[in-house]
């Protein structure tokens, strides 16, 4: 089998111009091109490198050849498993292309997310990015830490199973940041809305844990020196209800020792930076370089880090978590005591003795802070108690052991303080409620290997061995599940099992067992333990003895060989702390009074504190790892491997040697190896058909069964059936087969290109030949013609000269005759013109004399008329003065006036009495029949009077007639009423006279007529003055007002108008009350007023029937969509007509409340929202149109102006209705967006609307793991257009105004553009030239839809400008300086961040396309550096354009509306 594969490999793949990878010392792997075909038996493979040719030796007996390089089309893929050739150089190169050229830090490798630390802040972690990944399938978007978090959250909700996210990597690789972003994602997508702010507390725990558990190392400024497993708890609604942290492998030794250029834990430096603050004064702190425990590394500061600000953040998060001031004070006291303990000086007293000066200031501060006795502490630091059989001996210890005891005490205090703080944080993160599921985030060390490796590295690598074993089993399980899903026979895959390494460490008589055994002996040493290892484990192939060292041993881990120095293993495993020191702390008064310190020390027992802690450290490691493995095995794991690209922390610098070292250590290459052993490349049938349809024959392409077509084509192209397998929904390929198919496809495309070029070049050459032939024929014609006419040219020349002579003579004679005739003609016309001019001059002088004669006569007559007019004016003035004198004499008749006033008072009292009688009559209308007949006659008389006189005067006369019919005593005052009517008529005439005077004041003739009318009025007033005093008084007021330019008269008219309106209201109220009992008035013709009457108790029924129970799909509603709004407004008009303020307010509040209830209970019903949005808008417009305000009445009919609201100003209610309409509009938009959103990405991006232009590429594990096995309906651009058409039809059916429709369509188009654009930003596979063509085609379809619906005025297409420019950017050339300049000029709607992201993400679909070079991207960046604007990568899909409700008057006549019986509104009565 291997020989067969070898032959195929050599004959098909190692061909000329193919490329391979060869090992390289500097770059790990280098690319080379094959210069000559390789054949079986060749010893050398001729390659072309960048620096010349290279002969690569080949061993014929060894089947290992240089690995082949993937086609360029597969380079830069989102998933490494999409590569056809899966091997180390392919993985390394793909990561480099993505990281360095495309500036993409995340890449999938099967189930692993590889995260390369960019050492630079990137704009890819905002809330907009979180919402973009929320709800998306993994693989649909570009790789991201949010995609892993979303997959875990989705599987938890879908499968009801706990999840784990395992984040690992070297120090400085970005594990802590990745874990932090993961928890931030859960906090954002699962907001509970509770007041406990659990999400904020979960995030707030990070600064505290980083302060007490992170430190600066040579590799990382913020390195986590402990492992952390954070369980984020969720309830049944999958909202965060709490969290719990478990910690592992805290590096206690860092408290007392730091290597060069490293620091202790951050919290110590934060405290020292705030030593001057009042709350830290009692701690006696100073600068960090004055304490031994914080100055060992020599560098106490971190560039770019402000310890003081970090301390403020730590204090803030302490308070946010609810940890009180007392607790914080205790924590800082213990931490300060540790610092002072490190400065306690231990001196050598000789003879293996040691001592501590009693006057040591740090000793005093330590004892003061913890409340212990200095004498006892000094004694048991420098002495040790040995219990023998018969006695107890106290023995002094040397300085070295005393220092170790001091450091052990400091380490134990810090370790237990760390655990105590973690426990208090866990308590603060617990919230009421039962945990339904959890997602665990594990942030733990990756595999570590240094120049000097000790106990800590051994524990870390042991933990990673356990994690790697779990990872291998999980990958193996997933592969098996994939095969079973596709009904493919499962074959056993050989994968690396690290169980032997784990057995070497933890099995009986293994490394740990021998270490525990050695710790039992009091005289046990590291060297004796090492010798036991050599003797017991020498036969194990995974254990080695170094050649050059006798103080170390070597373990072959899964990642690499690691040499461990045995020094310190026993001491660190024992973790020595003696009982005497603990007893001193236990007896402290301060400790007994503090809960925190009790937790620190009273948990010990005598047995546990006496002698070294045997097996304590390793037992804790094994126990915690066992619990961790149980937890991980009970959950669904998700893996994130963080990679450190370089040791210098330079942004986007890629060191291949460092990266490949980490890839080997973190299991990524093992995943690749497992995948490569089986069928790593997997395509769905649809993807295969779309990609390789070019390789199909016409007969194969014509088949309707695409699945069978794919099988036929594949069986024809690849003869060896073992190289592929057919699953239910996918085709499985072995390594290299996709590359082979790509080669065949490229060859077919190349052949097609050659054929096209051949025909184009042939056509071009034929066209060029025909042009040259035609030109040659024309040249021949001219040359031959020239030769023919040369002989006859001389003969024809003489004849031509003769003809020219005669012709020129003829032409000269003709010109002379013409000039002569013209001269005679000009002379004749000139002489005639001069004669006529003389005649006109004489005639003009004669006419001037005549004009002067008539003018002088006119002037004489004008002077005469002026004099005559002056005389008449004088006469008129004299007569007016005479008239005034007579009026003044008559005004002196005071007796007549007093009688008139008494009579007026009698009339007023009579009117009051009549009003009281009218009220009494109204109450007795049903009992008295005779009064009913009188009231009916009164209504008939009132109706006749209303038709006879103008509207305002008609109401007054009707009221007077009513009073006459009620009481016959008013007959004697009929003369007064007729006089009043005559006065009103005269008032109208005077108004007309006033207007004429103001408009024609400068015309003397009209002024004369006006004066004559005044004389006539004066004569009439004079003749009637003697008959009745009241009439003379009224006439005198009129004449006086007219003489004084009627200013006072206008004020009186305004008062009369108000009086008339009040009387009119009373008359209408009387008519309304009488109408219910009027049975015989039906004979009178009805004139409806556009109002609906209802009783106050019927208001709930009105709201229930017209709002709450109304269905938008009713027949009546479809005929008149705005009928509810019109009916409600007619009821509002009736309340205003009755001047009933309480009824009006109650109705308006009921309408608003009813609509709110409907919208709240049916907030997802699109039809109902559209219906009530249209009706609220119509009701709002009706209130404006009938408000009586001039700006809203310009387009109203006379009848509509007449029906305006009379008594109340409803502007406040209009504002409330406007707010309600805005709320309905936003709810309506939200429902449409939720309906439209699922169709946008498939329709705009994924569907190929242009047939024959496929943009599909091979996909990896992430995409194929989420593929749909059943054939489901897919969305297309037609789906989007159909959905938009449905929305438009719904709005149109409900009579929505066009302005509102345009605003809604604009909002939906913005959503389409924003979601599509955001997906392009987050999907590298969508950034191709062909996809740009598809997008522009889809935009054109949307533009055609706008034209079809006549919505171009909505400016909706402008919201797609960012998307349109993105599509253009994907299609345009991207290579020269002119291209860069064009991009910077035309992409005005895109900010620099977005343009650079698109350029970096541009992905070729075929080998004919080229990637965008880094130099071109930098060139574009330099042109865009001065551009101002947003720096966000994403568009805000939640943005809302401001909605406006333009006023649109209705032409509907309210009086013509009929209330359908189907609405069950029979209690309404038309007025």
1380 close to 1306: Cβ distance less than 8 angstroms: no
Count of other CB atoms within 10 angstroms of residue 1161:
10
DSSP letter (8 states) at residue 396: E
The helix (run of H) or strand (run of E) holding residue 243 is: strand 240-248
List phi, psi (to 5°) of 1091. Answer: -130, 155
- Any binding-site annotation on 172? yes
d(CA 1150, CA 1100): 8
Structure tokens at 118: 């960019």
How large is the C-alpha radius of gyration of the chain?
52
- Any binding-site annotation on 644? no
Q: Which burial class, exposed, middle or buried, applies to 824 when counting CB atoms under 10 A from its CB (0-12, 13-18, 19+)?
A: exposed
Structure tokens at 100: 């360095």
Count of other CB atoms within 10 angstroms of residue 226:
21
Structure tokens at 1117: 């509603």
Terminal-residue alpha carbon distance, the chain:
100
95 close to 659: Cβ distance less than 8 angstroms: yes
DSSP letter (8 states) at residue 1359: G
- Any binding-site annotation on 171? yes
d(CA 1050, CA 991): 9
d(CA 221, CA 224): 10
- Any binding-site annotation on 174? yes
Sign of CA dihedral 908, 913, 917, 920: positive
Q: What is the dihedral of CA 1287, 1290, 1296, 1301, to 10 degrees?
A: 10
117 close to 172: Cβ distance less than 8 angstroms: yes
Structure tokens at 484: 């079973």
**Helix boundaries (H) for 371-508:** 374-382, 399-429, 455-485, 499-506
Residue tagged 């939640």 (tokens) = 1438
For residue 683, give Cα distances in angstroms to 35, 719, 1058, 1256: 32, 18, 87, 11
d(CA 229, CA 238): 20
Residue tagged 């997959």 (tokens) = 151
Q: 996: closest CA among 1045, 950, 952, 954?
A: 1045
List phi, psi (to 5°) of 1258. Answer: -60, 140
What stretches of 1069-1210 adopt beta strand conformation (E)?
A: 1092-1093
Contacts 24+ apart (CB under 8 A), 276-285: 279/329, 280/332, 283/332, 283/333, 283/336, 283/369, 284/336, 284/340, 284/365, 285/336, 285/339
d(CA 887, CA 1037): 11
- Any binding-site annotation on 795? no
**Helix boundaries (H) for 86-172:** 88-96, 127-133, 145-159
Reduced to 3 states (helix: H, G, I; strand: E, B; else coil), residue 999 is helix
DSSP letter (8 states) at residue 70: P
- Any binding-site annotation on 1260? no
Q: 958: closest CA among 969, 973, 947, 967?
A: 947
DSSP letter (8 states) at residue 323: -
d(CA 468, CA 710): 39
d(CA 435, CA 233): 6
- Any binding-site annotation on 1332? no
577 close to 609: Cβ distance less than 8 angstroms: yes
Q: Kindly list the catalytic residues.
A: 171-172, 176, 220, 223-224, 446, 448
- Any binding-site annotation on 169? yes
Name, in order, each residue with C-beta under 8 angstroms of 960's C-beta and a sequence gap of 6 or more.
970, 977
Residue list, annotated binding site for ATP = 169-176
Residue list, annotated binding site = 169-176
């Amino acid at each position: 089998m291997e020989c067969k594969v070898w032959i195929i490999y050599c004959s098909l793949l190692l061909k000329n111009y193919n490329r391979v990878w060869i090992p390289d010392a500097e770059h790990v792997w280098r690319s080379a091109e094959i210069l000559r075909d390789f054949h079986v038996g060749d010893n050398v493979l001729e390659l072309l490198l960048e620096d010349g040719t290279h002969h690569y030796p080949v061993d014929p007996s060894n089947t290992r050849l240089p690995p082949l390089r993937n086609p360029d089309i597969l380079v830069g893929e989102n998933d490494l498993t999409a590569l056809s050739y899966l091997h180390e150089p392919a993985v390394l190169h793909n990561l480099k292309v993505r990281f360095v050229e495309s500036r993409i830090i995340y890449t999938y490798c099967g189930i692993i997310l590889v995260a390369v630390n960019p050492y630079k802040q990137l704009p890819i972690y905002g809330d907009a990015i979180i919402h973009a990944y929320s709800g998306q399938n993994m693989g649909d978007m570009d790789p991201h830490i949010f995609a892993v978090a979303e997959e875990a959250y989705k599987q938890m909700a879908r499968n009801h199973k706990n999840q784990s996210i395992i984040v690992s990597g070297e120090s400085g690789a970005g594990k802590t940041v990745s874990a932090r972003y993961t928890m931030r994602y859960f906090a954002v997508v699962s907001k509970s809305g509770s007041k406990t702010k659990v999400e904020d507390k979960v995030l707030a725990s990070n600064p505290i844990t980083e302060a007490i558990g992170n430190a600066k190392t040579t590799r990382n400024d913020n390195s986590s020196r402990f492992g952390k497993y954070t369980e984020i708890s969720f309830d049944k609604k999958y909202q965060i209800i709490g969290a719990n942290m478990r910690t592992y492998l805290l590096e206690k030794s860092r408290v007392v020792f730091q290597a060069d250029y490293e620091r202790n834990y951050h919290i110590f430096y934060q405290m020292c930076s705030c030593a001057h603050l009042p709350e830290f004064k009692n701690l006696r702190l100073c600068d960090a370089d004055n304490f031994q425990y914080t100055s060992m590394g020599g560098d106490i500061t971190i560039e770019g880090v402000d310890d003081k600000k970090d301390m403020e953040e730590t204090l803030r998060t302490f308070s946010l978590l609810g940890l009180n001031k007392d607790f914080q004070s205790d924590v800082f006291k213990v931490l300060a005591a540790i610092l002072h303990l490190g400065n306690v000086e231990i001196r050598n007293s000789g003879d293996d003795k040691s001592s501590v000066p009693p006057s040591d200031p740090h000793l005093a501060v330590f004892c003061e802070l913890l409340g212990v006795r200095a004498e006892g502490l000094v004694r048991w630091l420098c002495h040790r108690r040995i219990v023998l059989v018969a006695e107890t001996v106290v023995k002094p210890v040397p300085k070295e052991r005393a220092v170790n005891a001091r450091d052990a005490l400091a380490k134990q205090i810090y370790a237990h303080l760390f655990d105590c703080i973690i426990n208090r944080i866990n308590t603060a993160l617990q919230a009421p409620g039962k945990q339904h599921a959890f997602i665990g985030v594990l942030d733990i060390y990756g595999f570590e290997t240094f120049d000097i490796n000790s106990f800590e590295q051994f524990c870390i690598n042991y933990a990673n061995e356990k994690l790697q074993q779990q990872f291998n089993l999980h990958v193996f399980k997933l592969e098996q599940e994939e095969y079973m899903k596709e009904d493919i026979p499962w074959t056993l895959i050989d994968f690396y099992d690290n169980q032997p390494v784990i057995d070497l460490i933890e099995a009986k008589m293994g490394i740990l067992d021998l270490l525990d055994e050695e710790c039992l002996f009091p005289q046990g040493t590291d060297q004796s333990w090492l010798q036991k290892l050599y003797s017991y484990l020498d036969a194990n192939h995974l254990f080695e003895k170094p050649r050059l060292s006798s103080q170390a041993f070597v373990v072959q881990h899964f990642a690499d060989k690691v040499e461990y120095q045995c020094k310190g293993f026993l001491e660190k495993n024992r973790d020595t702390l003696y009982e005497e020191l603990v007893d001193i702390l236990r007896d402290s008064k301060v400790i007994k009074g503090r809960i925190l310190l009790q937790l620190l020390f009273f948990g010990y027992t005598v047995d546990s504190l006496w002698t070294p802690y045997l097996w304590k450290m390793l037992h804790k490691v094994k126990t915690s790892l066992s619990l961790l493995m149980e937890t991980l095995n009970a959950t669904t794991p998700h893996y994130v491997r963080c990679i450190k690209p370089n040791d210098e922390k330079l942004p986007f610098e890629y060191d291949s040697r460092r990266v490949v070292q980490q890839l080997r250590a973190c299991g990524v290459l093992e995943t690749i190896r497992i995948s490569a052993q089986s069928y790593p490349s997997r395509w769905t049938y649809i993807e295969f058909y779309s990609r390789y349809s070019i390789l199909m024959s016409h007969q194969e392409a014509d088949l309707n069964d695409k699945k069978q077509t794919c099988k036929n084509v594949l069986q024809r192209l690849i003869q060896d059936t073992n190289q592929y397998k057919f699953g239910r929904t996918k085709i499985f390929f072995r390594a290299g087969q996709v590359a082979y198919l790509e080669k065949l496809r490229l060859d077919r495309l190349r052949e097609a290109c050659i054929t096209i070029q051949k025909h184009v070049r042939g056509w071009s050459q034929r066209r060029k030949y025909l042009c040259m032939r035609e030109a040659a024929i024309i040249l021949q014609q001219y040359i031959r013609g020239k030769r023919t006419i040369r002989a006859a040219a001389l003969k024809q020349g003489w004849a031509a000269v003769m003809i020219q002579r005669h012709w020129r003579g003829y032409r000269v004679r003709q010109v002379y005759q013409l000039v002569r005739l013209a001269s005679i003609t000009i002379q004749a016309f000139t002489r005639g013109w001069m004669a006529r001019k003389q005649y006109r001059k004489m005639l003009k002088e004669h006419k001037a004399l005549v004009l002067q004669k008539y003018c002088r006569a006119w002037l004489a007559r004008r002077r005469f008329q002026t004099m005559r007019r002056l005389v008449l004016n004088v006469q008129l003035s004299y007569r007016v003065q005479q008239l005034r004198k007579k009026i003044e004499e008559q005004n002196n008749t005071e007796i007549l006036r007093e009688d008139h006033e008494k009579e007026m008072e009698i009339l007023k009292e009579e009117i009051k009495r009549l009003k009281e009688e009218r009220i009494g009559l109204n109450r007795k209308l049903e009992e008295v029949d005779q009064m009913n007949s009188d009231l009916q006659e009164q209504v008939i008389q009132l109706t006749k009077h209303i038709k006879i006189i103008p509207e305002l005067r008609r109401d007054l006369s009707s009221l007077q007639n009513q009073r006459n019919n009620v009481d016959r005593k008013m007959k004697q005052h009929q003369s007064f009423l007729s006089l009043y009517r005559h006065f009103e008529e005269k008032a109208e005439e005077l108004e007309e006279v006033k207007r004429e005077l103001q408009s024609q004041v400068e015309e003397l003739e009209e002024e004369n007529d006006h004066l004559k009318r005044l004389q006539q009025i004066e004569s009439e007033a004079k003749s009637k003055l003697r008959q009745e005093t009241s009439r003379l008084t009224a006439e005198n007021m009129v004449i006086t007002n007219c003489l004084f330019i009627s200013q006072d008269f206008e004020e009186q008219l305004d008062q009369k108008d108000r009086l008339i309106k009040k009387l009119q209201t009373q008359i209408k109220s009387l008519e309304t009350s009488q109408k219910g009992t009027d049975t015989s008035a039906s004979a009178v013709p009805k004139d409806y007023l556009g109002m609906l009457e209802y009783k106050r108790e019927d208001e709930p029924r009105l709201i229930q029937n017209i709002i709450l129970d109304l269905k938008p799909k009713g027949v009546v509603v479809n005929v008149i969509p705005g009928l509810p709004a019109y009916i409600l407004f007619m009821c509002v008009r009736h309340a205003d007509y009755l001047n009933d303020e309480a009824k009006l307010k109650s109705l308006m509040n009921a309408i608003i409340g009813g609509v709110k209830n409907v919208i709240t209970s049916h907030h997802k019903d699109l039809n109902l929202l559209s219906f009530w949005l249209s009706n609220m808008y119509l009701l709002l417009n009706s209130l404006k149109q009938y408000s009586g305000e001039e700006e809203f009445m310009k387009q109203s009919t006379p009848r509509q102006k007449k029906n305006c609201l009379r008594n109340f100003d409803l502007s406040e209610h209009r504002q409330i209705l406007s707010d309600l309409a805005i709320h309905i509009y936003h709810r309506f938009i939200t429902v449409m967006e939720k309906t439209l959103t699922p169709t946008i990405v498939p329709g705009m991006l994924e569907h190929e609307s242009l047939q024959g232009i496929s943009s599909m590429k091979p996909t990896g594990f992430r995409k194929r793991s989420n593929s749909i096995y059943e054939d489901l309906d897919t969305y297309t651009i037609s789906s989007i257009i159909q959905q938009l058409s449905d929305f438009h039809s719904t709005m149109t059916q409900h009579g929505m105004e066009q302005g509102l429709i345009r605003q809604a369509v604009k909002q939906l188009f913005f959503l389409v553009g924003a979601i599509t654009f955001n997906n392009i930003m987050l999907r590298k596979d969508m950034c191709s030239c062909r996809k740009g063509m598809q997008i522009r085609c889809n935009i054109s379809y949307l533009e055609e839809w706008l034209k079809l619906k006549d919505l171009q005025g909505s400016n909706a297409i402008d919201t797609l400008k960012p998307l349109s420019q993105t599509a253009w950017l994907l299609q345009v050339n991207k290579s020269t300086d002119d291209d860069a300049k064009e991009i910077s000029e035309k992409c005005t709607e895109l900010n620099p961040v977005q343009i650079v992201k698109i350029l970096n993400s541009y992905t070729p679909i075929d080998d004919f396309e080229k990637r965008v070079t880094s130099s071109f991207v930098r060139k574009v960046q330099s042109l865009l550096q001065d551009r101002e604007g947003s720096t966000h990568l994403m568009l805000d899909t939640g943005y809302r354009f401001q909605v406006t409700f333009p006023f649109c008057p209705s032409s509907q006549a309210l009086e013509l509306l009929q209330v359908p019986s189907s609405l069950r509104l029979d209690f309404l009565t038309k007025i």
